[in-house]
Amino acid sequence: MQANELYLKLTQTHLHPSPRVLEVGFGLGVNFRATLERCRERGVYLEYLGYEAFPVSRAVLASVEMPLSAPAQKVWEDLLEGWPAEPHRPFCLEGAWGRLEVRFEDVTQALLPNGWATALYLDPFSPKVNPEPWQPDVLEKLFWAARGGARLATYSVAGAPRRALAAAGFVVSKVPGIGKKAWLVAERPEV
């Protein structure tokens, strides 16, 4: 499954003792649920910050089911219960499992935290159809949002964002994906 192989493993979130994930494109919460599930299995506290410019309704979120353990399913049901009908303010959910915040903002306009993330999931639609979040100024903001040693993962190996990630200061590598696809990992070097 792409969420596990691409986002969790390439960012090494599946090993991190106290992961802080920043995601561009919270979407249907698939990556969130996969990350939550692994963190629950390992008993580690998860902090997850998602940016989503075009949030879907609770009904759409609920329609996309995933097999989850009972503790992770409970968190997901709490999310569904609290998901706002008209999202304006950030949505927050917190418990012994960790903390989720979804900011209903266009990431191109958003203020990101500084030096916060241990992992960055860059998961908007493709650079061709959804070019805005792949622009150099956004990728540079992601660099500053990352801690030293943090990794960004994305499914697109398109040349322009790849060069912009390198120009922002990331060490960028293409890695084999599923099937014939390649994926991208970008690491913010330790200072």
CA atoms within 13 A on the CB side of 37: 15
Q: Which is nearer to ligand SAM, 24 or 186 (CB)?
A: 24
> Which lies closer to ligand SAM via its Cβ, residue 51 or residue 83?
51
Strand partners, 92: 101
CA 13 from centre of chain: 11
User: Which residue, 7 or 170, has its beta carbon nearer to ligand SAM?
Assistant: 7
CB of 30 to ligand SAM, least distance (A): 3
Interface residues with ligand SAM (CB under 6 A)?
24-31, 51-54, 106-108, 123-125, 130, 132-133
Rounded to whole angstroms, the Cα distance separating 21 from 102 reads 11
> Could you identify the residue written with the tokens 């912009």?
164
Give the shortest CB-166-to-ligand SAM separation in angstroms: 22
Helix (H, G, I), strand (E, B) or coil at 49: strand
Q: From the CB of 125, what's the least distance to ligand SAM, in Å?
A: 5
